[in-house]
Amino acid sequence: MTADERADRDMVIQSTDPLNAEPTSAALIASFITQQDLFYIRSHGPVPALSADHTVQVDGMVEKPGSWTRGTLERTFATVSVLATLQCAGNRRSDFQQVKATAGDPWGVGAIGTAEWTGVRLGDVLGAAGFDGQDAHHVRFLSADEVSVDGKRDSYGVSIPLAKALHPDTLIAWAMNGEPLLPEHGFPLRVVVPGFAGVRSAKWLTRIEVSLTPAIQPIQAKDYKLFPSAIVKEEADWDAGLVINAMPINAAICVPADGAHLTAGPVAMHGYALAGDRAVARVDVSPNGGLDWCQASLEQKPGAPWAWTRWSWAGELGKGNHELVVRAVDEAGQTQPSAPDDVWNFAGYLATSWHRVRIKVV
């Protein structure tokens, strides 16, 4: 689908080459499951044209290296489906950019989506390769696309810790919501790492390598690392950055949109919240910039710990300007920072401060 067609379909294009796009916040929150052609697209380079029988090599610290296609995976291993939200570490970056410029696309609240992913367990495939769990610490993924980081071209390569790779919900997937992956979402095979930043869910998978050490490509070694606010990019010691894997608690208002003009009377708010591998326990909504708080009602799918929570709240607002705010609380009582300044970082990752929208009731 072309960028123009996406824009016609409620998508906001961040860039066309590479294609980066997010659904409008109203379209995003209209359903619990995000349809594939509305799902945000985050690619670092051109979409590779792969055939349905593209092979994935499994090697490294395994006894029996081998290669698999979607067809041989499907015939050999149990097919499983996992409902999981995928979120870019740069989601909500535009909030940071109101504090101070950062690198990266100015994502709104839409670099996130929820799908039912179908494929096989990565752990089953590693087991068939004779992986005995000894010594190795990381599983590396190599993809078919070439990407450029700070002007240098290299293959897309990332890795995850071994324990996460062996988690039964970590998949090599070929379908989203029962449909084959579209080219832009990783056709024919991609990794899905529930609860981790989207960057670890390698699309256009080509090689899986069990290793002592993380992937060496710049996407793993430099990008997607978190630094304190005082650090500037030019002075960053890349090895000292925190590797962004598990995603922190976050929440966003999707409806009404920032800057909306509403008519006086009942006002409905809708949005999402998520807390990595913890459950969202409560969502607080403030109709007046954080002075007073009300509890939103929550929609959660039973048995789907990796899926987001949708929340909604309805109230009355008088004429004038209002600042609506949301924050989530997880089952450990943890919540979000109040202001973006608290967590600003030069690359603009993990924008988790209370989400605020300014509206006018006329």
Ligand X SMILES: Nc1nc2c(c(=O)[nH]1)N[C@H]1C(S)=C(S)[C@@H](COP(=O)(O)O)O[C@H]1N2
Sites of contact with Mo ion (CB under 5 A): 42, 88, 198-199
Q: Which of 96, 204, 272, 313 binds ligand X (CB under 6 A)?
A: 204
Q: Is 137 in the site for ligand X (CB under 6 A)?
A: no
Residue whose CB is nearest to ligand X in the complex, by number: 198
Going by C-alpha positions, the residue among 169, 210, 213 that lies closest to residue 191 is 169
Strand 265-274 to 250-255 pairing: antiparallel
**Closer by beta carbon to ligand X, 156 or else 174:** 156
Q: Is 349 in the site for ligand X (CB under 6 A)?
A: no
To the nearest whole angstrom, how small is the minimum distance from the Cβ of residue 203 to ligand X? 4
**Closer by beta carbon to Mo ion, 131 or else 349:** 349
Residues 6 or more apart in contact with residue 224 via CB below 8 angstroms: 89, 197, 199, 243, 244, 347, 349
Residue 159 binds which entry of ligand X, Mo ion, none, CB below 5-8 Å type-dependent: none
Pick out residues in 296-335 that bind ligand X (CB under 6 A).
Answer: none
Q: Is 145 in the site for ligand X (CB under 6 A)?
A: yes
**Closer by beta carbon to ligand X, 40 or else 354:** 40
- Tell me the window of 139-147, 252-260, 299-307, 341-349 that interacts with ligand X (CB under 6 A): 139-147
- Tell me the window of 162-170, 193-201, 241-249, 301-309 that interacts with ligand X (CB under 6 A): 193-201
d(CA 346, CA 100): 9
Phi-psi region of 22 (alpha: psi -120 to 50; beta: other; left: phi over 0): beta
To the nearest whole angstrom, how small is the minimum distance from the Cβ of residue 197 to ligand X? 7
**Closer by beta carbon to ligand X, 107 or else 313:** 107
Residue 143, strand partner residues: 205
To the nearest whole angstrom, how small is the minimum distance from the Cβ of residue 6 to ligand X? 12
Residue 41 binds which entry of ligand X, Mo ion, none, CB below 5-8 Å type-dependent: ligand X
Token digits of residue 150: 């700070």
Q: Is 199 in the site for ligand X (CB under 6 A)?
A: yes
To the nearest whole angstrom, how small is the minimum distance from the Cβ of residue 182 to ligand X? 8
To the nearest whole angstrom, how small is the minimum distance from the Cβ of residue 153 to ligand X? 13
Q: By the 8 A CB rule, do 225 and 244 touch?
A: yes
d(CA 282, CA 342): 22
In the complex, the residues that contact ligand X under the rule CB under 6 A are 39-44, 86, 88, 143, 145, 147, 156, 185, 198-199, 201-204
